[in-house]
Amino acid sequence: MIFSLFASLALSAAPQAVVFDWGKVLADPDRKMIVAFLCDSLGITKEEFEQANLQKHEQQVSETEFWVEFAMKQGRALPEDWSERYRSVSRAALNVDNEMYALVDELKAKGIPVALLSNIQKRYADLIHSFGLYEPFAPCLLSGETGIAKPDPKAFELLLQALSLPASDVVFIDDLVANIEAARNSGIDAIQFESLSQLKKELSQRGLL
């Protein structure tokens, strides 16, 4: 009877939703891998890549389209499978942490809503979308789509509106101190991510694992 009472209290006190950041939490993207592939396959230097990359931000085309057009302007013929190879390298360069995604699945299996709040450019977000890496999260709030980036308090206001939950019922996970502080200032419980084991311990202390 006493055990049941304490179990009920622990359950009621547990957060009702978990919100993740993406970069440096669920994945650790390796830009060098992409740069190396593009420089090698397009026959350009790193300096030439950086110059072209600045131009890319001014154009409303996908990553692949931009570099294919770049190669054409340079008079460089690309292999038929170049786009497929670029996509493969791009996926590998994301360095997705499968154990972290397994944790997301574990939380969802317990009936806990899992959301995402990430600062990211729309073009890069489109690439991640194409790999299905945002599918586990609802809502999935991306600054390139919402126009609001952390640590702006409005980003957390939007999050709470999308979750339809009070701040006290939400736990937020991010690697950056500024974002952690902004979340806490909004009344949200926040965990600064350091490692999978550290995060599991923190979530267990909150009755989520």
Question: Could you tell me if 107 and 75 lie in one domain?
Answer: no
Check whether 84 has a pLDDT greater than 60.
yes
Check whether 2 has a pLDDT greater than 60.
no
**Which of residues 93, 124, 141 is at a domain's end?**
93
Entry pTM: 0.90
81 part of a folded domain? yes
57 part of a folded domain? yes
Question: Could you tell me if 12 and 107 lie in one domain?
Answer: yes
**Which of residues 77, 93, 109 is at a domain's end?**
93
**Which of residues 43, 63, 93 is at a domain's end?**
93
Give the pLDDT confidence of 6-17 residue by residue, as tens digits: 444 444 568 999
Question: Could you tell me if 101 and 20 lie in one domain?
Answer: yes
Q: Which tokens go with 202?
A: 């923190």
Question: Could you tell me if 78 and 148 lie in one domain?
Answer: no
Domain that holds residue 63: 31-93
Q: What is the domain-level CATH number for residue 124?
A: 3.40.50.1000
Predicted pLDDT at 207: 96
Torsion on CA atoms 140, 137, 129, 37, rounded to nearest 10: 110
- Counting the structural domains of the chain, the total is 2
- CB neighbours of residue 206 within 10 Å: 15
Give the pLDDT confidence of 94-126 residue by residue, as tens digits: 999 999 999 999 999 999 999 999 999 998 999
Give the pLDDT confidence of 26-72 residue by residue, as tens digits: 999 999 999 999 999 999 999 999 999 998 877 878 899 999 999 99
Cα dist. 187→18, 144, 170, 184, 205 in Å? 14, 24, 9, 5, 19
Give the pLDDT confidence of 172-191 residue by residue, as tens digits: 999 999 999 999 999 999 99
Across all residues in the chain, what is the average pLDDT? 93
1 part of a folded domain? no
182 part of a folded domain? yes
Report, as an integer, the average pLDDT of 133-159: 98
